[in-house]
Structure formats: structure tokens, C-alpha cells
Structure 1
């Protein structure tokens, strides 16, 4: 009997190992969307693998759904405690950048739900709303399964997802993103003006009421308050550019959207994304917290 159980166990682990790489992007993807952190999402994926390797999966018909459900439960627990940590975060908080272009180290189910703008919108949802929205609207889970994750009724899960959807839609209406092509064009123009120290050129690309957000996390020198006004932002950029002198500036894809990656002394210094409206940059967001850039 013991030998038979050991054989079944080996077969199960072999099966899991064969299918894991197929399902890992979904496991990582749900965790990243819920937590906004590559490091935390990697930890969740590792936890899910260990949990799956130790579980009896003989009766599991849909392995992907089972794995994503376990990841969602673990992420939900982390998400609730993360709110407390973010309250003590030094300066503005931005999601940890995830490389999603052709050279991405992690193949994640890329869509607008991993963009900086969407993750910031979801930050304003309660943890249960965020879980319900991601599992239903992004991963297509039924409300009965979402209810199990949140330990609520099916009706409550449906209500949470509906409320989250309305809040996300309202936020997207008031903060239009513009097309990916337009953002890429503006970022390319911004890079050129930045490299040339062209103050007037930067001002032309920025909305007069634009906002500049810098996430240094207290680890490096960074503005701890938002900087408002296109001209003011351009002046700061020109001054910082003279001091920074980056090795190179790449136009890449991060979180499914165009981004600028600044390299300095052979390392990634910052990852910058923008929000645009009517052909102008309305929000310029820069992550320079080194803890959030190590994986790049």
C-alpha cells in the first residue's frame, strides 16, 4: 500500500511539473494584479507550487483554476496586510514595474489590467473588491468560486465584482489613457527633448496641469510630494537630467504599456510611464526605488 501511494505521489508530482510552466503565468498574473509587486507575486507562485506538490490533485479536474484559486487566496491574505504597510510607505507608492515586451523574463497574461494606471485604480478598491474584479473580469471565474476565496456568499461576490467594475469604469472615464501608439510617440519625443535638455520641447509635451509622481520609497533621493504643472515638471526634468547623465534611455514595454527605462552606471535607474489626454502628458510616473527595480 505504501509503495502504491508513493508511486501515485511520484506520478502526481511529474504531472504537476509537466503542466506547471503552462499554468505558472496565470498564477503569477493573478498575484501581480492583486499585489502590484513582482517580488510578492514570485513568492506567491512559489507558495502555490509547494502547496500543489503536497496536495492530492487526483480529484482536481481543472488544474489551472485550482492553482489560480490558491494563488488568489494567498494574495488576498497578503493584500489585506499590504494596506497597512503602504500607510507607512515613504512618499508616493507606485506598482513594481513588470517587463512585458518580447524580452520579458516573465510571460504574464498581458492586457490593460497590468498597466500602471489600472493597478493604481485598483489600489482604490477594497481587497475583496479587487479580488472579485480580477478573478471575474480578468480571469473569468464564476462567482461561486470567488465566494470560496473571499468566504462570502455567491450574491455578495457578485455584488463586490459589480461595485468594483463601476468604480474602475468611472476612474477610466475621468482619466483617459490614449492609445498605446500615441503614448509611444509622446515618450519617444519626450526622450529626445530630455536628452537634448530642451526645456521648451518638454513643456510642449506636458499638459499645463500635469502631475509628476516619483516613487523612491525612502531608499534614494526623490520628491516625496507630487509636483504639479507642466512647466515646473519640465524644469525639474532638465535639472535632474544634467545631474543624472544616464548611460542610455530605452523605450520598452512595461505592464503592457510603453515606458522609458533609464540606465545609469550599468544599472536600471528608473522606469517611467505616462498617462495622456488630448495628445499631452497629464501624468508622468517614475519608479526609482531600487528594491522595485532589482528584477530588471
Structure 2
């Protein structure tokens, strides 16, 4: 790639994770975030940046404008999405191909909460609360006043705080332990073992995007979920199930014939799984 005027390649290398991280948090899509990051690089490659005093902020605002446009159109696409929508899993462990600033805002639970925010709220919250941009800079992205941007971020912050209070939290060690036990029971087809790990009122969510067979509605109840998962496991016969890190939290990656077929994340309360989320849409797994 050509070197952007006034921007050293090592500067881009250091700032690229933040650009990608902002786009991913805004869009919940690895593919879209990669496209936005490439667009930002191309924009930087042709821009005169000699007078830019805060390169990080400049790059983030360019990424946010592009993401904001996509986000507004994505909300319309969500209405025609087949079945439940889940964010595309982002590898964040030591084997991650894309380094990203990791915090709770890239976890599946918080990304789903942010999906409920209006696009301007999501932009204001992520740019200010996660990446520390000034409201004057955010206002420029949204085409609003600084006061309006501040109000949008405040409104989003309240919604996020309310959702966070009601979202179960478990330590990383507890998640890893339960997922490993869950995997063993799943591989063994042990329905009773799975039932013991699932809350009686647990919910099972699958995102197939209409690309393959997947439940198009939530499945409720630990016993029913266990039976469905064992039946599906017998049909799939995955070659391997490994514990990986996705969005800063442990997850299960299922592979068949070397290809990723699902990534599963969980919410845990009082030592039991209360929400089991499975991404099946092959478009969301292609990067794995």
C-alpha cells in the first residue's frame, strides 16, 4: 500500500485496531468492520493530514461516519433478516487475527444491548464512552450540535447501565469451567448432564440467517434445549469442539471437515446457563 502523506506506516499499524474496534462495535459485523477499516485507510492515503493534530480522532471519525451510514441502512435490513440476529463472533484471544481493544462492549450480551440503541445513540456512546472522543468531534459525525451529541451519549449510557444491571455476570474461570463441562456432556449426548447445567428457564438462540436450517424462534426451557442440542449434535457430528475466546469471553467453536460451523456463547447465573447463543450463519463465520 502507498504511504499516506504525513502518516508513517507504524502510526497506521498502531491505530488500525482502534479503527477496526470502533467499526465492529458500531456494526456487530467483522466483514463490515474490515470493509470500513479498508475505506479509512484509502481515505487516509489520499488525504493531506499535515494539519491533523489528533490522527487517532481523525481516523475514528472517518470510520464512524462510514459505519453510521451502514448502521442506518442495516436497521432496515434487520427487519427482513431470517430468524434471530446475533453479532458476528470476533476472535480476541492469542490467536486473534485482528487485534482490538477488548472490553465488555465487544461481548455478545452488550453488543445485543447496543443493537437496541438508535444509531445516533450508539455512535455517541461508543465514540465518547469507549474511545474518549470529544462531543464536538462526535457532533461532526452525526451532523448535530455538541449538546445534542452529549444528550445522545447520556441517554445511551442510561440504557446500557439498566441493561447491564439485569445481565448476569460470571467470572472468566466459571465460564470456562462450565463451557468445558457443557462441551463434554454435549459430545457424549448426555441429555441429563446438559439439563443439570441449564437453568429451567434458559433460552436458546440460533442465528442461521436463512442460510441453513436453524430455529427461527427462541427455544425456552432447559430440558427442551438439551434435547434439541443433542439431536442437532447427532445430525452434525462435529469433528472438534474447542474453547476459544470471542469478544473477550470464553466460547465454543465447532468445526466439521476443518470448517467452522458454529460459535456458541453463554450467559451464566448462579452457576447455570440462562442464555445459550449459537451463531450458525456461514457469512459470519467465514473469517474463522
The aligned runs of 1:1-296 (5 Å cut-off) are: 12-13=4-5, 15-296=7-288
- The list of structure 1 runs, each at least 4 consecutive aligned residues, that deviate by more than 6 angstroms after superposition, is none
In the alignment, is the contact (CA less than 8 A) between 1:16 and 1:53 conserved in 2?
no
Shift of 1:31: 0.2
Shift of 1:177: 2.5
Aligned equivalents of 2:118, 2:45: Cα separation in 1:
32
Task: Give unpaired runs (5+ residues) of structure 2.
Answer: none
Q: Secondary structure at the match of 2:45?
A: helix
Give the TM-score normalised by structure 2. Answer: 0.97
CA offsets per residue over residues 68-112 of structure 1, 9 Å max, x none? 111011101110000011110000000011111000000011111
Q: CA RMSD in A?
A: 1.2
Task: Give unpaired runs (5+ residues) of structure 1.
Answer: 1-9
Give the TM-score normalised by structure 1. Answer: 0.95
Rg larger in 1 or in 2? 1
Aligned equivalents of 2:147, 2:11: Cα separation in 1:
33
Aligned equivalents of 2:118, 2:172: Cα separation in 1:
28
Shift of 1:13: 3.5
In the alignment, is the contact (CA less than 8 A) between 1:97 and 1:254 conserved in 2?
yes
Q: Secondary structure at the match of 1:90?
A: coil
Q: How many residues align?
A: 287
Shift of 1:14: 6.9
Aligned equivalents of 1:94, 1:124: Cα separation in 2:
12
Aligned equivalents of 1:273, 1:39: Cα separation in 2:
20
